[in-house]
Copies of this chain bind each other. A is one copy, B any other.
């Protein structure tokens, strides 16, 4: 039986705020608590790396009728623009059916979602620091400092949407038999900026996701509405070519002239921004269980933080919300069952997208510059267009479908195995669209 609950969502980020809207629409009393200031009152956009909204993210917005408002602040990117050193720009279309992913400002989207949530009647409590949670009673403890006096706030349920370093999870971690891992990449990232030109227009093709793949390191650029691009340099922290080696203005300037000469006139504040902006780290965080009885559940990055190389972090978190909403509808009021089936349904998929995202680091930084890889993609696209019922490329399944991440990983591995065989065919670069190649793929698929 449906009973209205008093629910706390810890974290006013994208997933927490979206979840709050869903829960409020179902009739619950919803409180969102966040240690930070209201993002709408500050200029800084918060988290970096522009988002790439794709099919799973859109569905979560469509379900509650707010996709159009978000579309209005997104820029479609229907291809990768690959800047290989000393070569002409290459384009690689993203989707089989000309689909796009959408570049959206994280801060802009977050502000919009909070506005929508507030209009729905969600209560926001900013600058409210949660230090601990009592799992069995869904009680949050808040106060000025970790070691000062705390106030107890009691709810019927608490959702931990408080990100990769979640306080709610921190308490769950102290339970016996709680599995947990955090693994940092040796690669870090730094944000840079390509401003609009004098006319306020984009200086590079605005409907592309731009990549400068250089093996161990790479630069990417995503378009913003104001004509600028947000650039991100991904590079090892230590080693021969690394952040550690770039300690002064001259070194940074020489590095960019050597490896990214075509960006020379695009990033005017290069050395200033390089030393002003932090070098940030990238973590994969996995844990289990995600829920405690009918009281507590982790969602989004708090349950499964992943590296950004598949552009699926927010999309995976939004899909958590979609699945949770389906289960709420299915198990009317039985929260114990809702939460248990939620974690069982999502955990294998969270692990799968973590693995796919980790692997895509190599794909983006190295393979996009590799002729054999580009040939493989071409063969796949060709075959998939002719036999769409036999082949959906991995990228499309992850980005433009609602198939589970787990099946994407499994089918993707099988497809990759087949393509490795196909690439062994003598003279493959000449006969890549021949009957023989097609028949080889079909027979390998049937094995």
Contact = CB atoms under 8 A, between A and B. Distances in A.
A147 B180 CA distance: 26
Contacts of A183: 179, 181
A324 to B, nearest CB: 24
A176 interface: yes
Nearest to A150: B147
A181 B180 contact: yes
A362 interface: no
Interface in A274-325: 281
Contact of A177 (B147, B176, B180, B184): B184
Contacts of A179: 182-184
Contacts of A237: 177
Interface string A160-183: 000000000000000011111111
How many monomers of this protein are in the complex?
Answer: 2
A177 B187 CA distance: 10
A172 to B, nearest CB: 12
Contacts of A181: 180-183
Contact of A281 (B176, B180, B184, B281): B176
A180 B165 CA distance: 13
A182 B184 CA distance: 15
Interface centre among A177, A178, A180 (most CB of B within 10 A): A177
Interface string A183-209: 110000000000000000000000000
Interface in A232-261: 237
Contacts of A182: 178-181
Interface of A: 147, 176-184, 237, 281
Given A177-B237, A181-B182, 8 more contacts: A177-B184, A178-B182, A178-B184, A179-B183, A179-B184, A180-B181, A180-B182, A181-B183
7 contacts: A176-B184, A177-B237, A178-B182, A180-B182, A181-B181, A181-B182, A181-B183
